[in-house]
Amino acid sequence: MNAVCSTQERVLNKTKRSLIDVPEVSKTMEIIDRGLAYNTRLKRKLSAMMESDDSSDASLDVPSDYLLDNVSITAASTSSYESERVFVHNFRNLNGRMHWKKCLDEGHAQGLFTRFTNSNSLRNHFSS
């Protein structure tokens, strides 16, 4: 089990190093850091269980689905972000001058921009 945890640690650290120069990956880095922290806790717990004489009484918590849920949410968010980005681009091309309030309203009508409540936050996020 120690070998599995160590390998997983190396892979996550290698992934993190490869993302250092990529812009706007703070959320990805947070997920990797949580994975590393979880791995460290699991490794420590497994080591303690193996060292204890009374390992039959020790219980190992089943890994939570928390990390997996966040990864799937992140993947969905990436897909959603791409749809929103395309919508903003198309809206700008159709209307010439950008009207962020109108863009937000039309996007909301189509189920987009659910995390935005006002046109200023939308503009700050998507303006280039």
CB atoms within 10 A of CB 103: 23
75 and 59 in one domain?
no
> Which range marks the domain in which residue 31 is found?
1-63
Asked if residue 128 and residue 87 are part of one domain, the reply reads yes
Last residue of a domain, one of 12, 46, 63: 63
Give yes or no: residues 55 and 94 share one domain.
no
pLDDT class of 68 with cuts at 50, 70, 90: very low
| Whether 58 and 80 share a structural domain | no
Kindly state whether residues 75 and 28 are assigned to the same domain. Answer: no
**How far is it, in rounded angstroms, from Cα 13 to Cα 114?**
33
Q: Do residues 102 and 48 share a domain? A: no
Domain identity same for 58 and 16: yes
CA neighbor of 109 nearest in space, from 87, 126, 128 = 87
Decide which of 63, 82, 103 is a domain's last residue. 63
For residues 19 and 56, membership in a common domain is answered with yes
31, pLDDT greater than 60? yes
Model-level pTM greater than 0.85? no
Region for residue 127 given its phi and psi (left: phi exceeds 0; alpha: psi -120 to 50; beta: otherwise):
beta
The total domain count for the chain is 2
Dig out the tokens for 124 from the structure.
Answer: 């700050």
- pLDDT of residue 69 exceeding 50, the answer is no
Condensed to tens digits (0 to 9), the pLDDT of residues 97-115 reads 899 999 999 999 999 988 8
Of 18-22, 62-66, 76-80, least confident by mean pLDDT is 62-66
